[in-house]
Amino acid sequence: MIVLLGVNHKTAPLAVREKIFSGCEEEKDLFSRLLSLKGVQEVLHISTCNRIEIIASIEGKEETVRSLFDFLAQNGNLTQEEAEKCLYNYCDKEAVRHIFRVASSLDSLVMGETQILGQVKDAYRRALERNATGTVLNRLMHRAFRTAKRVRSETAIAVNPVSVSFAAVELAKKIFGTLTGRKILLIGAGEMAELTGTHLISSGAEDIIVANRSPSHAAQLAEKFHGEAVSLDALGEKLIEADIVISSTDAPDYIVTADLIRKIHHQRKNRLLFLIDIAVPRDIDPAADSIDNVYLYNIDNLQDIVDENMNIRKKEALKAEAIVEEEIMRYTNWLKELEAVPTIVSLRSKAEEITQAEMKKASNWMQKFDQEEQEKIKVLVNSIVNKILHTPVSVLKEECSEVGSTDIVATVRQIFRLDE
């Protein structure tokens, strides 16, 4: 049986997640302790800022689940009430669904974000290094990664950005193609402008100029980006050089007027200009947008794009859920087939024993044949046995994956007296 226990951003506040996170981090031999719990056969531990989860393959249900529950509660130093409120646990199909959805980023705070898959892979790698996983969890995690890959490639869940700064980067790419060699002018040293600038630079933009009313703030930010700091008086001159302008000052009036843009546009040789105005009240005159080759986006325009992208993600999530269900079916079928494996092994062993015993009995009269003929008889006997066993083994596998193994396994064991 597969079980999954844990907390996430939906069920537990940050303070509780922190406590469990620290408790698990401090635990020196986490995997050995988990594996030493009665009934735990395989185990894996996922720990990120938004979730702490334990996935285990266990024998026997209630007692083992309770011990895993207590383990998490004790590590997080949680009261009984806190634990009952925050910790969730899923069994079998539900557990499989949960881990597939987590790996596919359907359960993330920002649906479709790409980090979680790497974090789940890291968690699996750690468990592998400690030999904490076996057949069941290995297969489960490979299926989870495959599901995540399918969700990413077959849906557009992670395609469109859902943050204002990434939306600005995407727009810049639609205007300039590549951002390599593009010059950014930051007007004001606000946090949002800084974040957008950081994203643009990590996407290839090279030069950055910071223009600010306070020279010390400008110099501080410019140093961070290895750029140039200028005063607001030099704005006109620097606008000629810039390709992307991000403005976020708290000035009450327009800092960049449409007339200023018109005036410098000829000196810019009509190059494309992307203006991002994230200030409230606005820093850039909206009339600038009517100038050819000038593209002005304010915070509302960017937020609209983000909202639209979020809606697209929600629609894509429906397709992703269908993929998850498909993969759950495949995995659970395999899991059911796995239940037939001991019976198949017993059946083959029994057939092998009977064959060996009969061949031994026949060894006297087989003496009259030469060595080559004896080998041929052995091959013939093995072939007949394999052919006879082929159908029951296939039916056993099929029935186990489709209907559930209990009845058919019991019947086969009874018919062939495998338990004697």
Partner 1 sequence: MSLISLGLILFKIVFALCTLSVAGYLLSLLVKRVMLAKISTWILAIAFVFLTVYLLLAVISSTGFHNLGSRAFFSFCALSASGVYLALQFKTKTRLLGAFISPFILFFMIAAAGQETGKSLLPEGLRNWLTMAHLTLTIVGEVLFVLASCAGAMFIIQNGLLKHKKLSSMSRLLPSLSDLDKINHICLLWGFPILTVGIIAGAVSAGFTWERGWPADPKIIWTVSAWIIYGFLLHQRLAIGWKGFRMAVVSCAVFILFLLSYIGVRFCFTTLHDFI
Catalog residues that contact partner 1 under the rule CB under 8 A. 160, 167, 170-171, 173-177, 266, 269-272, 289, 292-293, 295, 297, 301, 304-305, 308-309
Residue nearer to partner 1 on the CB measure, 280 or 410: 280
CB nearer partner 1, residue 12 or residue 305: 305
CA distance 158 to 350: 53
Encoded tokens for 162 = 């859902």
Provide the minimum distance between the beta carbon of 152 and partner 1 in the complex, in angstroms, as a whole number. 15
When the beta carbons of 31 and 295 are compared against partner 1, the nearer one is 295
List 297's β-bridge partners, or say none: 276
Strands laid side by side in the 183-187 sheet: 228-231, 207-212, 183-187, 244-247, 273-277, 294-298
Sorted by sequence, the CB contacts under 8 Å of residue 355 that are 6+ apart come out as 381, 382, 385
Residue 144 CA to residue 106 CA, distance in Å, equals 12
Phi, psi (deg, nearest 5) at residue 372:
-65, -40
Token output for 179: 């951002």
> What is the rounded distance in angstroms from the CA atom of residue 82 to the CA atom of residue 176?
52
User: Which tokens go with 151?
Assistant: 């969700």
- Of 177 and 252, which has the nearer Cβ to partner 1? 177
Least gap, CB of 173 to partner 1 (angstroms): 6
For residue 44, the cross-strand partners are 55
**Min separation Cβ 258 and partner 1, Å:** 15
Collapsing DSSP states into helix, strand and coil, what is residue 87?
Answer: coil
When the beta carbons of 293 and 406 are compared against partner 1, the nearer one is: 293
Other CB atoms within 10 A of residue 48 CB: 20
List % helix, strand, coil for the chain (3-state, nearest 5): 60, 15, 25
- Residue placing its CB nearer to partner 1 in the complex, 105 or 301: 301
Cα separations in angstroms, 197 against 168, 206, 229, 267: 10, 10, 14, 25
CB of 159 to partner 1, least distance (A): 8
Least CB distance from residue 271 to partner 1, whole Å? 7
Reported as type and span, the H/E element at residue 175 is: helix 164-176
**From the candidates 49, 86, 91, 400, which is the catalytic residue?**
49
Residue 49 among the catalytic residues: yes
CB of 279 to partner 1, least distance (A): 17
The DSSP-derived string for 39-68 is TEEEEEEEE-SSEEEEEEEESSSHHHHHHH
Shortest Å, Cβ 210 to partner 1: 24
Q: In this complex, which beta carbon is closest to partner 1, that of residue 123 or of residue 278?
A: 278
Residues that are catalytic: 49
